[in-house]
Structure 1
Amino acid sequence: MANSTSGDSVTQRLVRVLDTFTPARTVQTAAEIGRRAGLPPSTAHRMVGELVDAGLLERDDERRIRVGMRLWELATRSSQALSLRQVALPFMERVQARVREHTQLAILEQDEALFLERLSGPHSGANITRVAGRLPLHASSSGLVLLAYGERDLQERIVRGPLVALTEDTITDAAALRRKLAEVRSLGHAIAPGYIEAVSTGVAVPVRDETGAVIAALSSVLRRDDPVPPALAELNAAARGIEGALGFRR
């Protein structure tokens, strides 16, 4: 791809444009996209127009921009993550029906926990997680599972920090995080009371593929004072079911 006068390639600028969309920011003007992507106004309007013409972005009646269905279509054609979600969903539905709290599936993506699915009931407690949203590895139960079973380089990178505190209970000390990761590997699950929200406890277990490698974390978000063992039992049963469907045999 040709470079701009700033040295950025077309691909780099395209990624910056798409990265301006977040789970909380789904609609923007072309000017807002340009400002957030660090592009000159003329470049931003031209790129947005070309992406709209290609169907990767869409323009509503007020000329605001949102992610287009064409981008979703392309992403779902061969995504391993979405294939995993499809396999996991029936097992997640069983957990959610029995535990009656949020049930979530996350994978490791660029040093964060990326959530592929979240099931919730009308009376489920507090939870900030969103589908296609991200949480820090050191602060979420899913993230702790992914980190504990991740590569050593990943663990060292995260432990070196900064370990940002989301609540007063979030682990922010490197030595404490190392101990927590060892605990997760020893027990085979992560419990994170108040790490993300003071009123909630995250509980997560690993999910393995046919080779035995941990590829995802399955979790529930409980109210802070709810008993953990019943949810943990349901999560473990569901994880074994997902692993069996993926071809893993213990």
Structure 2
Amino acid sequence: MAKQQEHLSSVHNAIRILQEFSDDSPVMGISELSDRLHLAKSTVYRLLSTLSKAGLIDKDTSHKYRLGIGIFVIGSVAFRSTEIRVKSFPILVDLMTQIRRIVRLAIYDSGAAVYLCKLPEDKDTRMFSSSGKRVPCHSTAVGKLLLAYQDADEIDRVLSRPMKAITRRTITDASELRKQLSRIREVNYAVTTEESTNDVCSLAIPVYDQLHRVVAALSITGSKEQFVEYKIQEYLQVMRVYSRLVTEQLEDFE
């Protein structure tokens, strides 16, 4: 039993190491990972060596580590096979054509929103900077929308952590954010104004499955001038139609 628990602990810590890499921290050394994760350097080194042999971690000439090509291969399979993305993609293309704004689809993952797709796609291969990207819940419309529909314990866990101010309008006060989440559940949509990027606003609504559970968030993004109140109401009418179309596709899949 003790060996089994040790094995599970090692698996858990290996996953923690992989999750620590991000756009902000793509390359890290053993000491930095040790400090971030509160693990012994010897433990971090051992786990990195194992992950490296599996192709999930690469070591560069400066003895720093980054995610390896194995992660890309696994992620690409998950990306292509994600049911929600596959079933919703043609619908999102239609929405983008009609509404003429940037359209995104995101899911919730442990305190963050993860983009499944962005339309229009960026030129060349830069689309990968959006698809698969994790963004904080407190500063994005999709994040707030998805967090609002998590259970109380998960909301408490996320709001108990420090929240970074990305712009001068980012809300970092937990009590204020909690009020916003309550309001989102009442009106069934979320709006952010310059909270993640200056002069940029976003509007997000839920996407439901056949059991009326929120499984994703659909959002549009544009300049502040494009998101005056009467335009928001117009956008909502159109977005709700397309959200229902996605839900119907998920029902057909079942």
Q: TM-score, normalised by structure 1?
A: 0.74
Distance of aligned partners of 1:24 and 1:160 in 2 relative to their CA distance in 1, 3 Å threshold? closer
Which deviates more, 13-22 or 60-69?
60-69
Q: Distance in 2 between matches of 1:81 and 1:154?
A: 27
Query: Given that residues 210 and 251 in structure 2 are in contact (C-alpha distance below 8 angstroms), is that contact kept between their aligned partners in structure 1?
Result: yes
> What residue is the counterpart of 2:186 in the other structure?
186
C-alpha contact 1:23 1:130 (8 A) present in aligned 2: no
Select which of 220, 241, 244 maps to 1:237. 241
Offset of residue 92 of structure 1: 2.0
For residues 216 and 42 of structure 1, the distance between their equivalents in structure 2, rounded to whole angstroms, comes to 36
Shift of 1:206: 0.2
Q: Give the unaligned 5+ runs of structure 1.
A: 124-128
Amino acid at match of 2:244: R
- Root-mean-square deviation (Å): 3.7
User: Secondary structure in 2 aligned to 1:115?
Assistant: strand
Match in the other structure for 1:104: 104
**1:88 — aligned with what?**
88
Tell me how far 1:213 sits from its aligned partner. 0.6
- The residue aligned with 2:23 is 23
Q: 1:43 to 1:168 in 2, by over 3 A?
A: closer
Distance in 2 (CA, whole Å) between partners of 1:107 and 1:42 is 32
Say whether residues 1:37 and 2:33 are aligned partners: yes
> Could you list the per-position Cα deviations for residues 171-209 of structure 1 after superposition, in whole angstroms to 9, with x for gaps in the alignment?
344453343223322222111112222311110000111
1:115 aligned residue: 115
- SS of 1:225's partner is helix
Displacement of 1:236 after TM fit? 1.8
Contact 1:145 1:205 in 2 (8 A): yes
Q: TM-score, normalised by structure 2?
A: 0.73
Deviation digits for residues 4-63 of structure 1 (CA, Å, limit 9, x no counterpart): 9xx99432442344234323555x4xxx4423322648963x655543443334578999
**2-structure distance, mates of 1:161, 1:216:** 23
Equivalent-residue separation in structure 1 for 2:177 and 2:213 (angstroms): 22
- Rounded to whole Å, the distance in 2 between the matches of 1:175 and 1:17 is 31
Identity of aligned residues (%): 24
Note if contact 1:210-1:246 (Cα within 8 Å) is conserved in structure 2: yes
Distance in 1 (CA, whole Å) between partners of 2:71 and 2:111 is 24
Q: Return closer, same or farther for 1:211/1:170 CA change in 2, 3 Å cut-off.
A: same
Gaps of 5+ in 2: 35-39, 124-128
SS in 1 for 2:82: helix
* Aligned counterpart, 1:214: 214
Which moved further from structure 2: 230-239 or 182-191?
A: 230-239
Aligned residue pair count: 236
Is 1:23–1:132's contact at 8 Å kept on the other side of the alignment?
no
User: Alpha carbons of 1:48 and 1:245: their partners in 2 closer, same or farther (altered >3 Å)?
Assistant: same
Describe the shift of the 1:90–1:64 C-alpha distance in structure 2 as closer, same or farther (beyond 3 A). Answer: farther
Deviations 1:47-102 (A, max 9, x none): 55543443334578999865444434445656898222222222222222333332
Give the Cα–Cα distance (whole angstroms) in 2 for the partners of residues 149 and 239 of structure 1: 16
* Counterpart in the other structure of 2:146: 146
